[in-house]
Amino acid sequence: MPVKTIDCDMLISVNNVSIIDVRSPKEFFQGHIFAAHNIPLFENEEREEVGKAYKQRGREDAIELGLKIVGSKLHEFISRTKKISPEKKIIIHCWRGGMRSESFAWLLNLAGFEVYKLHKGYKAYRNFVLQTFEKKIQIIILGGMTGSRKSEILKSIADAGEQIIDLESLANHKGSAFGQIGMHPQPTQEQFENNLSHALNKLDVTKPIWVEDESHAVGLVRIPNALFSQMREAPVVKIEVSKEERVKHLINGYASAPYGELKNALEKIQKRLGGLNTSLALDALEKKDFAAVASLSLEYYDKAYNFGLAKRSPYNIYNLALEKISDKENANKIIEYAYNNITYRKRS
């Protein structure tokens, strides 16, 4: 059975086909296709050796060295691929769709796999990813002060049947100086973009998509410029929750975190919080007065949020007061409010 070629846009609709990335572990870590498996033709050091041979002695010597390295691994390649895809149907790629993926595709084809090779490899996929963010989409921003339960409400909005993009989950960060506490390590910028593109491509961009209000940077990763520009122009449903309730929510979320992590987070915002408030917050933290820590921290975060909100058109901001704590009820109220007040929003 001949090896077939598949384009990047077809990855969206392909089901039950495993993707094998044959690049080195270092390349894979930097960024890879969502849900791809890494079976490297060359390990990091081996790839460097082959590259050095190519530069110093030429293509023929580099190929001979590559064959020598790979020769003893052929059975392992087949065995690992069978575990990933017992049905023996595989999409393979390397960086540009060159010798690494061609060699691996030849081997698997010989072993009876149905093999597809990604046209022009991961390089083409990255171009595809970046083009995703250029698409015009209908965004509704869920805004509100820190501690307003926006993340929890966003998930309830999804449960109600709406489309969402959860940027904080994709970034493994809650978007503040405290945002890395309790989270897994953040992805690389490249991987964040790949995962975000994958999430967007699963949605119907002709219908509204809810996104939580975020700064350009979410921890160490940045929302792609093209998408962030659309977010800044989008209508904002700004929920209004009492400071008392917001403090309670922050206590529930962070009071059990290690002392050192909370202290480091407070020190990160020291300049913005001010010397006196920082000293008071650190003293309160020492005494485990988490309500005081949260209340003092909000002095900075509320000002910062209002500063960012002031950069938006006031005609794009829709204020909605919430009195209940129920995320489900509030989500339904927000959705109904958007139906009735945002002009481009239509009932499906």
Quick one: tokens of 229?
A: 């520009």
Q: Nearest Cα to 223, choosing from 301, 167, 185?
A: 167
Which of the residues 53, 70, 90, 94 is marked catalytic?
94
The CA distance from 186 to 207, in Å, is: 29
Query: Is residue 42 within 8 Å of residue 114, measured between CB atoms?
Result: no
94 is known as an active-site residue: yes
Query: Is residue 90 within 8 Å of residue 83, measured between CB atoms?
Result: no
For 97, 145, 213, 256, 310, the CA distances from 297, given in Å and listed in that order, are 51, 12, 19, 17, 20
Strands 221-222 and 217-218: antiparallel
Query: Is residue 238 within 8 Å of residue 144, measured between CB atoms?
Result: yes
Question: Which amino acids are annotated catalytic?
Answer: 94
